[in-house]
């Protein structure tokens, strides 16, 4: 068994142990018998929302969209209550049809109030914020960078299901590289 296969098997064993509660998945529009529920819609067409209720239970609301497909009913049914956004991911396709997505993980997510028979629209900013500060010393230039999302959410960027490395490069006006290096994920 390879190292990645062993790590995957250990993760699956841990998840099966019951020590970690798997979020309840909600991946389809509501049926007609959801009359006691409220509804949630996202500000994106494809991705997911990870919501936590006041009891600490997690719900993962999913929206899948394939390249060129038109979105359908974006409503997802939930029991009325107050939820907090714990994370979300937004998926998009590039011009070659390859899927890119950004996962945002936050401790201070927006609050979502779900009321019976009503739709709560969750508007999330999927912009990536980059804050860079140069530090000049006798050794040269050091770049201190912080990459985050809405409300200081930590982010991870994926292309075709694989986490991509982030890096930086500082150049002068003639495009000569003054400093470069990797950026780490929190």
pLDDT score for 104? 87
Is 166 inside any structural domain? no
Residue 74 falls inside a structural domain: yes
Distance (Å) of CA 175 to CA 134, 169, 171: 17, 10, 5
163 within domain boundaries: no
What is the domain count for the chain?
Answer: 1
Bridge partners of 122? 42
- The region, left, alpha or beta by phi > 0 then psi within -120 to 50, assigned to residue 152 is left
> Considering the entire predicted model, what is its pTM?
0.72
pLDDT over 80 at 165, yes or no = yes
Question: Is 161 part of any domain?
Answer: no
User: 29: domain CATH number?
Assistant: 2.60.40
138 lies in a domain?
no
Burial 148-163 (b: 16+ CB within 10 A, else e): bbbeebbbbeeeeeee
Any domain includes 130: no
pLDDT in tens, 33-42: 677 899 999 9
Strand-pairing partners, residue 90, are 47, 102
pLDDT attached to residue 93 = 84
Rounded average pLDDT over 86-91: 90
Question: Is 167 a domain residue?
Answer: no
Task: Determine the structural domain holding residue 99 and report its residue range.
Answer: 3-122
**pLDDT, tens digit, for every residue of 91-127?**
888 899 888 888 888 888 889 999 999 999 999 888 8
| 115 or 180, which is more confident | 115
d(CA 168, CA 125): 23
* CA–CA gap between residue 128 and residue 150 (Å, rounded): 8
Q: Which pair of structure tokens corresponds to residue 153?
A: 């959410």
Question: How confident is the model over 163-179, as a mean pLDDT?
Answer: 85
Helical H segments across the chain, by residue range: 3-16
Quote the mean pLDDT of the chain.
Answer: 84
Residue 139 domain flag: no
Say which residues have a Cβ less than 8 Å from residue 93's Cβ, sequence separation at least 6.
Answer: 67, 99, 100
Residues 76-84 have a mean pLDDT of: 95
Q: What is the pLDDT of residue 45?
A: 84
- Rounded distance between C-alpha atoms, residue 89 and residue 126, angstroms: 8
């Amino acid at each position: 068994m390879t190292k990645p296969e062993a790590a995957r098997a250990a993760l699956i064993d841990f998840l099966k142990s019951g020590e970690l509660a798997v979020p309840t998945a909600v991946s389809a529009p509501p049926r007609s018998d959801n009359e006691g529920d409220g509804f949630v819609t996202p500000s994106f067409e494809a991705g997911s929302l990870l919501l936590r209720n006041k009891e600490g239970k997690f719900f993962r609301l999913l929206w899948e969209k394939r390249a060129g497909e038109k979105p359908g009913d974006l409503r997802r049914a939930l029991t009325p209550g107050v939820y907090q956004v714990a994370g979300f991911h937004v998926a998009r396709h590039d011009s070659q049809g390859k899927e890119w997505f950004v996962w945002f993980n936050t401790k201070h997510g927006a609050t979502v109030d779900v009321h019976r028979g009503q739709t709560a629209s969750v508007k999330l900013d999927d912009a990536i914020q980059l804050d860079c500060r140069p530090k000049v010393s006798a050794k040269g230039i050091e770049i201190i960078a912080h990459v985050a999302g809405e409300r200081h959410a930590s982010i991870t960027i994926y292309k075709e299901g694989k986490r991509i490395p982030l890096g930086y490069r500082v150049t002068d006006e003639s495009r000569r590289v003054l400093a470069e290096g990797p950026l780490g994920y929190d």
